[in-house]
Amino acid sequence: MGLTSSFAPPTAAAAQEPTIDPARIRDEFPILATHGNGRPLVYLDNAATTQKPRAVIDAVTRYYTSENANIHRGVHYLSQLATEAYETARQKVARFLNAPSSREVVFVRGTTEGINLVAQSYGRTFLRAGDEVLITGMEHHSNIVPWQLLAAQTGVVLRVAPIDDRGELDFAAFERSLSERTKLIAVVHLSNALGTINPIRRICETARARGIPVLVDGAQSASHLRVDVRELGCDFFVFSGHKLFGPTGIGVLYGREALLERMPPWQGGGDMISSVTFAESSWAGLPAKFEAGTPHIAGVVGLGAAIDWLSGLGLDVVSAHEAALLDHAVAEVSQVPGVRLVGTARERASILSFALEGVHPHDVGQVLDAEGVAIRAGHHCAQPVMARFGVAATARASFAVYNTRDEVGALVRGLHRVRQVFGA
Ligand SMILES: Cc1ncc(COP(=O)(O)O)c(C=O)c1O
C-alpha cells in the first residue's frame, strides 16, 4: 500500500502538517499515465467517477485470485476467508464514518440504492399521506425521484427548500419549510452540480430539535471531506464506492441503529432471514436484514482497500490540497473571456461548473476531449438546478486528490482553444 509514500515529508522548517505530493500519488494510478486522443490524459471528471489506485486494483485481483467464495454460509476455508474479508471491510467503513457500530453499515449498490432503501423501507413504513419529506433545490435526481415514487405510493408530499443565486441553501427559507408535517429531511452534503457544501451540522441540529430524521447524500462528499456521522448528527448517510477510488456497483448506507432496527427489510431472499417456512419468515439482525442475496463481495473488498488508501492520506490533508487547487482553478478559469461560473457558494469543494458564452457545453466538452482533457457536459442529473440557473447544461471540471495545477493549465489552454474553434 503506497499510502505513506504519497506524502511529501514535512521539513523541519515547513509547516508541521503533512502535505500532498500529487506526482507521487499519480504514480499509484495506472490509468493516469495513459493517453486520450494522443495526448496525456487530463482527467477532470472525478465527480462522475474516480480512477482507481493500484491498492484497490490489487485487492480485487487478490480476492479473486486467492479468496473467492460465497460468504456467511460456508464452513470451508475459502468461504471463511471471503467472509472475513467482507466483514473486515464493514468495520473499515464504520471507522471511516466514525459510526458507533458496524451493525449500522449496510452494503448497497451505491448512493442511489441507499436512498431508495430508506424511501421504501423507512418511508413506506413510517410516513403517511400528508406527511412531508423536505429536500433542497440542489439535489441530484437520486435524491428527488425516490421521494416522488414514495409520494405516488403513499400520498407523502415532497417539499423543496430553495437555493440562492450563489447556489447556497437559503437557510431561513429551509427553516420556514419545516412544520409538524415534516417527517424526513434528505439533503446533499456536497452538490455535484454546483460544488456547494451544505451546513449539515446546522441542518441536523435544527432537525433534531424538532425530532425529524435527516438523510445525507454523501455521494460527492465522502472522498473530499472528513465525514463523522456522530459529529454531523445525521441519521442516515449514503455514499458510492466508485466516487471514492473504489469499484463500481458498491456503496454504503449508514443508518442509526435504533432506526435500522425498526425498519423492515426492503428486499427478500437469502442471507436476510433467521427462519423461513411457507407460512412466514423472520428476519436476520442488522445489517444482514438489508443485504438480501449474494452481495458484491469483491466490490466490498475493493471499497475497503479504497478506504484504507484514502484514510492513509488523511481526509483533512486531502481537503486542504483540493481547496487550494479549486481556488487556483476558479481564479484561472474565471479569466477566460465569456466564462460564467454556475455555483459560487462560499463553502464549496472540488467542482467547477461553468458556461462559456456562445458555445454549447457539449461542444466545450468535445473540443477539450480532443485536447486530452476529460470534463463532463450536461445537466449532471440535476435538471432542477439547471432550471434554477436558467441553463440547459453546464460544463463541469471536477477535481480529485491526484489533480495538479498543470492540469488546470491544460483546462484553461483548452478553453482558449474552444473559443478559437467557435469564434467565441
Ligand atoms: C450528489 C449525488 N448524489 C447521488 C448520486 C448517485 O450516485 P450513484 O450513481 O453512484 O448511485 C450522484 C452521482 O453522481 C451524486 O453526485
Annotated active-site residue in 381, 391, 412, 424: 381
- For ligand 1, is residue 50 a contact (CB within 6 Å)? no
The 8-class DSSP code of residue 217 comes to: E
- For ligand 1, is residue 83 a contact (CB within 6 Å)? no
The 8-class DSSP code of residue 207 comes to: H
Q: For residue 222, report the distance from its CA to the centre of ligand 1, in Å.
A: 11
What cell numbers appear for 147 in the block?
A: 421521494
Q: For residue 48, report the distance from its CA to the centre of ligand 1, in Å.
A: 8
How far, in Å, CA of 387 to CA of 392, rounded? 7
Measured by CA distance, the residue closest to atom 15 of ligand 1 is 219
What cell numbers appear for 82 in the block?
A: 471471503
- For ligand 1, is residue 217 a contact (CB within 6 Å)? yes
- Given a contact cutoff of 8 angstroms between Cβ atoms, the answer to whether 180 and 201 are in contact is no
Chain-centroid distance, C-alpha 331: 25
Spatial neighbors of 294 by CB under 8 A, at least 6 apart, are 70, 71, 270, 271
Q: What is the pLDDT of residue 3?
A: 34
Query: Which of 188, 192, 379 has most ligand 1 atoms within 8 Å of CB, for mutation?
Result: 192
What cell numbers appear for 276 in the block?
A: 423461513
- For ligand 1, is residue 110 a contact (CB within 6 Å)? yes
Q: For residue 99, report the distance from its CA to the centre of ligand 1, in Å.
A: 21
- For ligand 1, is residue 222 a contact (CB within 6 Å)? no
Instruction: List the chain pLDDT tens, one digit each, 424 residues.
Output: 333 334 444 444 444 567 889 999 999 999 999 998 899 999 999 999 999 999 999 999 999 999 999 999 778 999 999 999 999 999 999 999 999 999 999 999 999 999 999 999 999 999 999 999 999 999 999 999 999 999 999 999 999 999 999 999 999 999 999 999 999 999 999 999 999 999 999 999 999 999 999 999 999 999 999 999 999 999 999 999 999 999 999 999 999 999 999 999 999 999 999 999 999 999 999 999 999 999 999 999 999 999 999 999 999 999 999 999 999 999 999 999 999 999 999 999 999 999 999 999 999 999 999 999 999 999 999 999 999 999 999 999 999 999 999 999 999 999 999 999 998 7
> 352 has which bridge partners?
397
How far, in Å, CA of 271 to CA of 284, rounded? 8
Q: For residue 22, report the distance from its CA to the centre of ligand 1, in Å.
A: 25
Q: For residue 178, report the distance from its CA to the centre of ligand 1, in Å.
A: 25
Angle between helical axes of 297-313 and 315-334 (0-180°, round to 10): 80
- For ligand 1, is residue 192 a contact (CB within 6 Å)? yes
DSSP string, 312-367: HH-HHHHHHHHHHHHHHHHHHHHTSTTEEES---SSB-SEEEEEETTB-HHHHHHH
Is 234 noted as a catalytic residue in this protein?
Answer: no
Query: Which of 147, 220, 227 has most ligand 1 atoms within 8 Å of CB, for mutation?
Result: 220
The 8-class DSSP code of residue 33 comes to: G
> Radius of gyration over alpha carbons of the chain, in Å?
22
In the block, which residue shows the cell 423472520?
282
SS (H, E, C) 372-406: CEECEEECCCCHHHHHHCCCCCEEEEECCCCCCHH
Alpha-carbon torsion, ordered 224, 229, 231, 234, to 10 deg: 110
Q: What is the pLDDT of residue 16?
A: 57
Q: For residue 112, report the distance from its CA to the centre of ligand 1, in Å.
A: 6
Task: Please give the number of the atom of ligand 1 that sits closest to the Cα of 109.
Answer: 11
Closest by CA position to 6, among listed 55, 62, 57, 59: 55
Query: Which of 139, 187, 240, 351 has most ligand 1 atoms within 8 Å of CB, for mutation?
Result: 240
Q: What is the pLDDT of residue 17?
A: 61
Q: What is the pLDDT of residue 19?
A: 86
